[in-house]
Structure formats: C-alpha cells, structure tokens
C-alpha cells in the first residue's frame, strides 16, 4: 500500500522533463541504464532511434532542456544550435574538451562535470605506473609466469622512486593529488602549468622542455587543448634523457605518439607508463613487445567507488537544475583554454572500458573527436 501511494504521488513518466543522451555512458553497459535514474527527469536516448541524429534532434528540439554526455560523445555548436531550450550540459568526465564551451557560454548554457571525483583515482594510477616502470613490476611478473626465473636466473634490478626529481605537467586537481603522493616518497617535485601557483612550494617551470631537463620523470596531468596537443614531442623527450620516464594519465594526443614510440624503441628514454593513447583503442604494435612500457586501457580514471560518487553527482546536478537550485559541480566558462580545430573536429576514440567511459567510435551527423 505504501509503495502504491508513493507511485501515485509521483508525476506520470511522460510529464517528466527530458535529458538527452547522444551516446550511452560506460556506466550504462556496466550497471544498466537505470544507473542515473531519478524521479525528477527521464532520458531521451538518441542512440536508440533509427533516425539520423540531426533529424532526431529536430524532432525533439522543443522538449530537450538538458544533455548527458561523456568523453566519447561530443556536444558541438551544431548540436547546441538545434536545441533552442537547452540550459544544461552534464558530462560524466572530468575533462570537457568534447563540449563546445564557447557556444555554451554564448548561449548562456551551464556546464557541469565530474568535479574532482576522479582526481584521487587518477593520482593513484599515475604513481602506480611510475613505480611499475621504475621497479619493473609487470616485466618481472611476466618473467616469473613464463618460467624464466628458474632457467635464466634473477631478473634485472629496477630503480627506486624515493628521492627522484619528478615534473608534473598540469598542477590542477589531479596533478596536486599526484604531488601529495610523491611527497611521501621524498621526491623533489616541480611543475609546469598555465600559470605559477603561489600557494604551492614546488618549483615552477614556464617551459616544458626546461622542466624535462631538470627531472627524472614527467607525469602528464594537463587537459587536452589546442595548446597542449603534441606538447610532448621529440624536443621534450630528448630533454628528459635516456634515464627519464614519462607517465600519461591525461589524454593521448598530448604526446606525439610516433616520437614516443621511436624514443622507447631506441632506448632514448628509460620507459613509459601509459593509460591513454592517441588513437584509442588502437595501440602502436611496437609497444606490445617492449618491457620498458607499462600500459592500461584508459581506466586510471575511476574505480567502482568513484563511479558511485559519479552517479550521485550526475543525478544531483540534473535534479538541482530542474529545481532551480545551484549545480553541484558547475564548470566556470569564463576562463577556459581554447578548444577547437583538432580538439572539436575529426574523430575521437576514447577507451575507458570499465572506467570513466566506454570506447565508442561512430560517425553521426555531429562531428566527433580525441
């Protein structure tokens, strides 16, 4: 009886406002499409319609007030212009380079992201990858499992993390969490960022090449923008040197992947820990045979625990929007780096598998990236 009364007090499903989903977030494939369920809104799933996306959007243009997206689904200016009543875009990712924030700002559309939910998980993975590369954990594991210990003797020793000079590219929420963890290893920390942060004690280098010259390892934590695309190329890798290690848990195209592959093959740097790649889910075949490379399938971003936090945040943002209350994790749109060109055009292939997003690559009427 109590359940029946509760159901009668809720508005009919058709009376609920619509949240448009262009592509299903990975959480749908893991937990089902009820994962972001709320009694205050309902989903309009473009990916389930046989109609071309542009036609689908025109059909529902008057009823869409909000969009749920993810790193695998771009929200372009063309999409936004087809939705005259759009007031909010919520992304399940921490990065926002897949959203045309300039158009959102121009139209007065709010944007909300994952906030700092994934920062600690990313930082844990970054330090884990660094430890793995330096101490050769994965390589030694393969050595033992292949039965080589008994036939070929001890595996070559690795290098310690303690006391290393580590440079962080991008001292935002993730970079800051990485630095906190490295302090426990008595590492000397320096960083490069868009501007110097007077509140931190670390050495600031305005130039990434100069940062690399003065470091044993570089950890990439910055956002993907026009300015950071291929920020790490031959010059930076050469500056890092043959004893240097590079870790990337940010976005694949920040590193010039072809140059990185050649440097690793020629042993011009010590090694790399890579959670992201330039053309996901495709990984350069040359990397597969290298013992000085540790890789993961773009899943550094989150854990089962942080996905639950993500669920609460996403639902909370939509419920706040439809209740005319402040958003939980609004993204300031007044001071954003430039996101255009290759960042908001072409094709993106993000693979987070059982992490933040599920890789989806498909050409629709909207332009897609990464």
- Domain annotation for the chain: domains and CATH numbers: 18-117+305-323 (3.40.50.720), 119-295 (3.40.50.720)
Catalytic residues: 251, 280, 298
pLDDT band of 202, cuts 50, 70, 90: very high
- Residue 208: is the preceding peptide bond cis (ω within 30°)? no
Give the lowest-confidence range in 7-21, 180-194, 235-249, 344-358. Answer: 344-358
Against a cut of 0.85, is the pTM above it? no
DSSP state of 330: B
Count of Cβ atoms closer than 10 Å to residue 3 Cβ: 7
Evaluate if residue 57 carries a pLDDT over 90.
yes
In contact, 189 and 213? CB cutoff 8 Å: no
Residues listed for the chain? 370
Mean pLDDT of 326-334: 93
Q: Is residue 4 classed exposed, middle or buried when 0-12, 13-18 and 19+ CB atoms within 10 A define those classes?
A: exposed
- Reported as a single tens digit per residue, the pLDDT across 37-52 is 999 999 999 999 999 9
Which helix (H) or strand (E) segment is 311 a member of? helix 304-322
CA distance 255 to 232: 5
Beta-carbon contacts of 157 under 8 Å, excluding residues fewer than 6 positions away, are 136
Residue 143 and residue 153: Cα distance in Å, rounded? 10
| Span 193-209, average pLDDT | 96
Residue 265 has pLDDT above 70, yes or no: yes
Whole-number Å distance between alpha carbons of 51 and 57: 9
């Amino acid at each position: 009886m109590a359940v029946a009364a509760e159901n009668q007090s809720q508005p009919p499903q058709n009376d609920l406002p619509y949240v448009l989903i262009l592509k299903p977030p990975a959480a749908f494939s893991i937990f089902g499409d009820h994962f972001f369920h709320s009694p205050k809104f309902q989903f309009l799933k473009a990916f389930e319609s046989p109609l071309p996306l542009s036609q689908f959007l025109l059909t529902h243009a008057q009823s869409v007030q909000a969009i749920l997206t993810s790193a695998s689904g771009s929200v372009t200016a063309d999409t936004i212009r087809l939705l005259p009543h759009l007031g909010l875009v919520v992304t399940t990712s921490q990065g926002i380079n897949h959203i045309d924030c300039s158009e959102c700002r121009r139209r007065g559309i709010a944007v909300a992201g994952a906030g700092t939910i994934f920062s600690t998980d990313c930082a844990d993975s970054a330090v884990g990858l660094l430890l793995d590369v330096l101490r050769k954990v994965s390589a030694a594991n393969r050595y033992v499992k292949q039965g080589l210990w008994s036939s070929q003797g001890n595996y070559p020793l690795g290098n310690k993390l303690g006391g290393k000079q580590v440079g962080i590219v991008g001292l935002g929420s993730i970079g800051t969490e990485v630095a906190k963890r490295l302090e426990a290893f008595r590492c000397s920390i320096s960083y490069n960022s868009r501007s110097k942060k007077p509140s931190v004690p670390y050495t600031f280098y305005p130039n990434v090449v100069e940062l690399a010259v003065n470091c044993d390892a570089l950890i990439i934590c910055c956002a993907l923008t026009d300015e950071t695309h291929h920020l790490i190329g031959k010059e930076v890798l050469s500056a890092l040197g043959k004893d240097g290690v590079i870790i990337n848990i940010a976005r694949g195209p920040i590193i010039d992947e072809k140059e990185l592959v050649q440097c690793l093959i020629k042993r011009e740097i010590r090694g790399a820990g890579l959670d992201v790649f330039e053309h996901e889910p495709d990984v350069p075949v040359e990397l597969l045979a290298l013992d000085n490379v540790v890789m993961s399938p773009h899943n550094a971003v989150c854990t089962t625990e942080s996905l639950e936090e993500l669920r609460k945040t996403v639902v909370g943002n939509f419920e706040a929007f439809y209740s005319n209350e402040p958003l939980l994790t609004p993204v300031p749109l007044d001071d954003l780096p430039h996101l255009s060109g290759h960042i908001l055009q072409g094709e993106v292939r993000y693979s987070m598998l059982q992490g933040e997003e599920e890789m989806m690559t498909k050409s629709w009427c909207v332009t897609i990236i990464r």
